[in-house]
Structure 1
Amino acid sequence: MLKQQQEIIAGYQEKIKEVTTEIDQTKKLIDQLSFMRIGLFLAEILLFIALVSSADDNLRTLIQIGLMVPVIAFAFIVRRQSKLDREIDYKKQLLWVYQNEWNILNGIANGYNHGTAFESELHPYTSDLDIFGNASLFALINRCSTKSGNDILAKSLAEKSTLDKILLRQEAVKEIIEKIDETYSFRANLHGYDPDRIEQIKTQLKYQLGAQLEFVKGKFLRLYVKLVPYLSIALILAGLFVSSIFWKVLILLCIIHTGWNVLLGAKINKVFYTFGGSSNLLNGYAGAILWTEIQNWKSPYTLGLLDSKIPVSKEIKALSKIIGNFDARLNLIVGGILNALLLWDLRCCVNLDNWYKSSSDDVVTALDHLGDFEELISLATTAYNQPDWVFPVIKDQFALSAIHIGHPLIKEQLRVNNDFHLETKPTVDIVTGSNMAGKSTFLRTLGINMILAYTGAPVCAKIMELSVFSINTYMRIKDSLNESTSTFKAELNRLKMILDHVVKDKDTLVLIDEMLRGTNSRDKYLGSKVFVEKLITEKTPALFATHDLQLADLIIDHPETVRNFHFDIQITEGEMKFDYLLKRGPCKTFNAAILLKEIGLTLD
């Protein structure tokens, strides 16, 4: 492991220690406040006992005033404790983020989504190159908590990009690397919440909320909701200082308010149930959006994600406050009193409607763009954690060249790096070699690094230069009992898909590992030969891994368009040793006889 990466791991360890200490200190402060609340409660009881037992009017007046002190102090402590609870929740998420980075660098699985939902054997390359699923590229680099972030990252890994877009994204990723210490706070604000919850809120804001709030658009209702607090306060004061008749009027008014609220209950519930209980979630997302707003971005790609003319974080904070007030209805006693005196639910709905008219479009757009930032941060974090990886040079002209390229999913201490260069024109490169010598791994190494390069991320290589290709692979072909598909039929389907792509997209690059396994050796050779010659005709570059040495002889008929490479083994006293290094020319040493002998079968 590089010294620089060891320093990165040590840095995460230090951050874990710091945040853990902060959490412990905050917990102690919360415990102290809890004891203070108990003390204030006991003080209130003692003051009440003193009030009941005192016969001195002056003393009673003083005690009555004193009764307010514990109540006010109690309310202040509850507010302070609630703030500390939110703070400790945030710090726990920040601790998780740091711990997860430490885990990944120490060979423990990433705690974010592994992208299994995006797996598809029908895709041109994602299944063969281990792009999605457990032990995949997605599982290595993903740092997205939101559904949109996961979707955007998956799209970047699965769809062809353009030269201009790749270059813009490289610039954006490099800029975020410089701000990497600040990205952990962004991620902590988004982690720990149900990603489906924010999707429900976005859907309601986009398509439903306007229609759901139609019932509060009447002028009389809005005016009355605005005036009702003043009316209730006036009746209370009149009941205290004028006449008890006003208490009866107030009771009647509360009954009317309660009935009104019950009549509109179904409509109020439709509005509430999507938003209810999401105040903390919205505060977290507001904090993440605020981070994107306060950065001094220079990358055109990143600046393009900030298309709102207003500070959206403030708008989400305002929405969070409305939802926090709305949540008061969850307490039946408090909610009942507030609705009876102030028409609280209707008041919240009116406030929500006012907010919706001015802010909803910008908020939905900003929430969507959080996924774009998460995706860029995923790539930047991977780049930061792997300081020996490099950003590839993306070229406009046909090119593919790599020095010391290795597979990013293989641990560094086990990884063997290779050099590889295409000619200035397309060739079909036949890669022969023994079982387990490294042919398949090399093809995947090349392909997975190309996918990384096209996202704008660095690659696991010392130097890499390439143009933009459409990658098509043929590696893990499976039969399907459900679809009544034999292995041979599945292989034919894959070949047809590749041929269709080759014809439609002249920038296709094909990676094939042992073609036509599901048929006899003669047809396998003839089919492979015809396919290679078709690729030559279409001027499609390809790497073709095979055990069939006859295919290496195609260089005789096609000396300008076929090249031979191989992975060999060294056999010492009957034992095999692999160096996993790519070499020029066809393979001349094979190990099938040795492997068969190990299970008790001897070839003459």
Structure 2
Amino acid sequence: MTINDIYKHYSDTIEKYQGRSGALKKTIFQIGTARLAIFIVCCIVTYLYWNDTSTVVTNIVISIVVFLALMKYHNSLYKQKLYADKQIENASNELKGLEYDFSAFDGAEEKIDAEHSFSLDLDIFGKRSFFQSLNRTVTSFGKDKLADSLINPQENKDKILSVQSAIKELSKNPALLAHFISIGQMTEMDKLNTKDFSVSFSQKPLLANSLLWKYLLYIIPLIHIIAGISIFLDYIPGSYYIYVYILTLVISSIPLKQVKQIMNTFDSKSKVLETYSELMTLIEHEKYGSAYLQNIQDELKKPSSASQAIRQLQSYYNNLTVSATFPVFLLFNPYLVWGVRYAIKVEKWTQVHKNDINRWFNTLSEFDALVSFAIFAFNHPDYTYPTPSDKFIFEGEALGHPMLHRDKCVRNDVRISKTPFFLIITGANMAGKSTYLRTIGINHTLACAGAPVCAESLTFYPGRLVTNLRTADSLADNESYFFAELKRLKMIIDRLQSGEQLFIILDEILKGTNSEDKQKGSIALMKQLISLNSNGIIATHDLILGNLEKEYPDNVKDYRFEADITDDNLTFTYKIREGVAQNMNACFLMKKMGITGL
């Protein structure tokens, strides 16, 4: 499949659902017109035959039945149209994404963390971030799972391979991915906070353990049956029934506070529960070849179907909510103790499934995150799945940054095949050093997550990535830029000394001090990193660091990004080359901008 095939897929999807949405809109209008006509005809017939009671009653009953049937059909059509419109919207957003406009997606700005080992440096979160380009999750906990898979890289080789297999399989089924997302967008999923929802299940039951109310569920209806039979057989006067009704109404109203408290556990979240059930149904009923996806499916099927259980809870909750409405409160509560009956059913449900609910939602979050990775894989047919290694290695051909336009992205190779080993990258301003470092970092992150990478090939060790590309000072902490950088470097040294194997990417070591201190400090740091048996890439303007290759020929390799000055014009190839940089461009650029005091 080529990128043109991807464009065509989304264009065809838009065309298909636009036709369906238009047809549904027309039918919905016709159903609405029919409902209005039935109402008008009912009124006319009622007026004309007002003195014929049987005709009027029959007319009203038939009109109500037909009206309600059409209303149910109308709601079904409206839901189908909403689904079609979501498919159109999502396909349109994917077409924009193929042109690197990801504004329609959530970048999770709230997850930006300057203290994290690499996420801030690699622009993982925020506006125009990599997460924004990747994120297609429809649940808040799926979004958390997706973010976690990036900021807490997987280190287990077998787990990475199993996730790769799952993403490969899902990416070949774009219809399933689109269906999952569109269903998930049918309601506002964030209305249900699953953490609070789960915690509520650990609370002591208010009614379910009460023997009194368990017996009253049977006794009260029996009282009405006995009273009715007694009146029918003339054992008691019919007027006495009003006392039976008032008594049972009062009794059924006693636990009203507890019933409302149980009802508030869900707080008008019935539609969200319905959507969760539909998403789980989709996962449960699909056939999977990947063992990872089969495990996800199995988790939703034990001890019983999660989708059916959630649907049952939704039904209980709907009936519980109805108990608070005026007609049900007066008619069903006195006879069937309706509110208490369904409050107990809800509490029993929570007791039965209190150990399942976290597992179900966690499983759903895993699938939700996989959908995002699968769409990413589908949208990038030229990307490749990297090979994880048992020992440190990071070797790749034609690596590019996934946020750079495919037509403009210049790809470069990388080779680190032993430990300890560092690449020292020198070069002019704007020549491509920082972009190269971020390219390495983001592809390492993707590789550890089990996703395809922007490369022709990549073999990697799923170790722990640490970067220092964007250190900032902090006025709030009274912390200078230099001190912030030192803290970052100390963190790296401490982790290495504790035995961690890190993949280190640094851009311009010790930027916050003078040139002489910087050179001495940079060389000392590099020697310490080598002595601690670490690996990584260092970008610098200090050409003196290029001498380290002579001192450590087995542990250091020099590479450069050059700025070529020809006929008073500055050009960049953005291609990495061996050796130490020859051309620097700061003075040239300053003269070009009219700063001539050099």
TM-score (structure 1 length as normaliser): 0.91
Q: Specify the SS of the correspondent of 1:215.
A: coil
Q: In 2, Cα distance between the equivalents of 1:589 and 1:406?
A: 24
List gaps (5 residues or longer) in structure 1.
55-59
Q: Specify the SS of the correspondent of 1:52.
A: coil
| Residue equivalent to 2:9 | 11
Asked whether 1:315 is paired with 2:309, we answer yes
For residue 595 of structure 1, report the CA deviation from its aligned partner. 1.2
Aligned CA distance change for structure 1 residues 97 and 347 (closer, same or farther; 3 Å): farther
Q: In 1, Cα distance between the equivalents of 2:373 and 2:483?
A: 38
| Residue equivalent to 1:299 | 290
CA RMSD of aligned residues (A): 2.7
Asked whether 1:488 is paired with 2:486, we answer no
Q: In 1, Cα distance between the equivalents of 2:223 and 2:22?
A: 48
Aligned CA distance change for structure 1 residues 276 and 541 (closer, same or farther; 3 Å): closer
Q: In 1, Cα distance between the equivalents of 2:530 and 2:556?
A: 8
Superposed CA offset, 1:84-124 (max 9, x none): 33333333333333233222113222533212222111111
Q: In 2, Cα distance between the equivalents of 1:542 and 1:430?
A: 9
Is the CA contact (8 Å cut-off) linking 2:546 and 2:558 kept in structure 1?
yes
Q: In 2, Cα distance between the equivalents of 1:595 and 1:250?
A: 98
Shifted more, 264-273 versus 443-452: the winner is: 264-273
Shifted more, 190-199 versus 73-82: the winner is: 190-199
2:90 pairs with 86, 97, 100, which one?
A: 97
Asked whether 1:149 is paired with 2:142, we answer yes
Asked whether 1:139 is paired with 2:137, we answer no
For residue 175 of structure 1, report the CA deviation from its aligned partner. 1.8
Superposed CA offset, 1:242-278 (max 9, x none): 89954x4554444334434543222111111232422
| Residue equivalent to 2:213 | 221
Superposed CA offset, 1:530-551 (max 9, x none): 0011111112122111111111
Give 1:447's aligned amino acid. G
List gaps (5 residues or longer) in structure 2.
none
1:37 pairs with 27, 35, 38, which one?
A: 35
Q: Specify the SS of the correspondent of 2:470.
A: coil
Shifted more, 256-265 versus 453-462: the winner is: 256-265
Q: Specify the SS of the correspondent of 1:275.
A: coil
Asked whether 1:462 is paired with 2:456, we answer yes
| Residue equivalent to 2:120 | 127
Shifted more, 264-273 versus 483-492: the winner is: 264-273
| Residue equivalent to 1:353 | 347
2:595 pairs with 586, 597, 601, which one?
A: 601
Shifted more, 295-304 versus 160-169: the winner is: 295-304
For residue 220 of structure 1, report the CA deviation from its aligned partner. 4.3
Give 2:434's aligned amino acid. S
For residue 320 of structure 1, report the CA deviation from its aligned partner. 1.6
For residue 420 of structure 1, report the CA deviation from its aligned partner. 1.6
Give 1:321's aligned amino acid. S
For residue 38 of structure 1, report the CA deviation from its aligned partner. 2.3
Q: Specify the SS of the correspondent of 2:116.
A: coil
Superposed CA offset, 1:324-357 (max 9, x none): 2233256445555443554332232133234334
Shifted more, 501-510 versus 315-324: the winner is: 501-510
1:159 pairs with 152, 157, 166, which one?
A: 152
2:504 pairs with 510, 514, 520, which one?
A: 510
For residue 209 of structure 1, report the CA deviation from its aligned partner. 4.1
| Residue equivalent to 2:256 | 265
For residue 576 of structure 1, report the CA deviation from its aligned partner. 0.6
Asked whether 1:289 is paired with 2:280, we answer yes
Is the CA contact (8 Å cut-off) linking 1:468 and 1:507 kept in structure 2?
no
For residue 468 of structure 1, report the CA deviation from its aligned partner. 1.9
For residue 358 of structure 1, report the CA deviation from its aligned partner. 3.7
Is the CA contact (8 Å cut-off) linking 1:232 and 1:342 kept in structure 2?
no
Asked whether 1:424 is paired with 2:418, we answer yes
Asked whether 1:381 is paired with 2:375, we answer yes
Give 2:273's aligned amino acid. L
For residue 235 of structure 1, report the CA deviation from its aligned partner. 7.1
Give 1:449's aligned amino acid. N
Asked whether 1:498 is paired with 2:498, we answer no
Give 1:292's aligned amino acid. I
Give 1:585's aligned amino acid. G
Q: Specify the SS of the correspondent of 1:430.
A: strand
Superposed CA offset, 1:122-176 (max 9, x none): 1111111112222222111112122221221111111232212111111111121
Is the CA contact (8 Å cut-off) linking 1:277 and 1:323 kept in structure 2?
no
Give 1:126's aligned amino acid. S
| Residue equivalent to 1:280 | 271
Superposed CA offset, 1:269-323 (max 9, x none): 1111232422221111111101111122232222332222312111111112222
For residue 408 of structure 1, report the CA deviation from its aligned partner. 0.7
Asked whether 1:571 is paired with 2:565, we answer yes
Aligned CA distance change for structure 1 residues 133 and 238 (closer, same or farther; 3 Å): farther
Q: In 1, Cα distance between the equivalents of 2:561 and 2:41?
A: 83
| Residue equivalent to 2:540 | 546
Aligned CA distance change for structure 1 residues 216 and 381 (closer, same or farther; 3 Å): same
Is the CA contact (8 Å cut-off) linking 1:174 and 1:380 kept in structure 2?
yes
Q: How many residue pairs end up in the alignment?
A: 594
Q: Specify the SS of the correspondent of 1:387.
A: coil
Q: In 2, Cα distance between the equivalents of 1:164 and 1:210?
A: 35
Q: In 2, Cα distance between the equivalents of 1:400 and 1:17?
A: 44
| Residue equivalent to 1:591 | 585
Is the CA contact (8 Å cut-off) linking 1:433 and 1:568 kept in structure 2?
yes
For residue 505 of structure 1, report the CA deviation from its aligned partner. 4.0
Q: Specify the SS of the correspondent of 2:207.
A: helix
Aligned CA distance change for structure 1 residues 414 and 252 (closer, same or farther; 3 Å): farther
Is the CA contact (8 Å cut-off) linking 2:416 and 2:422 kept in structure 1?
no
Q: Specify the SS of the correspondent of 1:431.
A: strand
Q: In 1, Cα distance between the equivalents of 2:204 and 2:329?
A: 21
Give 1:113's aligned amino acid. D
Shifted more, 68-77 versus 282-291: the winner is: 68-77
- Please list, as runs of the form range in 1=range in 2, the aligned pairs for 1:201-240 lying within 5 A after superposition: 203-204=196-197, 206-209=198-201, 211=203, 213-226=205-218
Shifted more, 184-193 versus 150-159: the winner is: 184-193
| Residue equivalent to 1:84 | 77
Give 2:114's aligned amino acid. E
Q: In 2, Cα distance between the equivalents of 1:546 and 1:249?
A: 96
Asked whether 1:403 is paired with 2:402, we answer no
Q: In 1, Cα distance between the equivalents of 2:142 and 2:57?
A: 57
Q: In 2, Cα distance between the equivalents of 1:393 and 1:598?
A: 46
Give 2:542's aligned amino acid. D
Q: Specify the SS of the correspondent of 2:571.
A: strand
Is the CA contact (8 Å cut-off) linking 1:276 and 1:327 kept in structure 2?
no
Q: In 2, Cα distance between the equivalents of 1:31 and 1:570?
A: 67
For residue 210 of structure 1, report the CA deviation from its aligned partner. 6.2
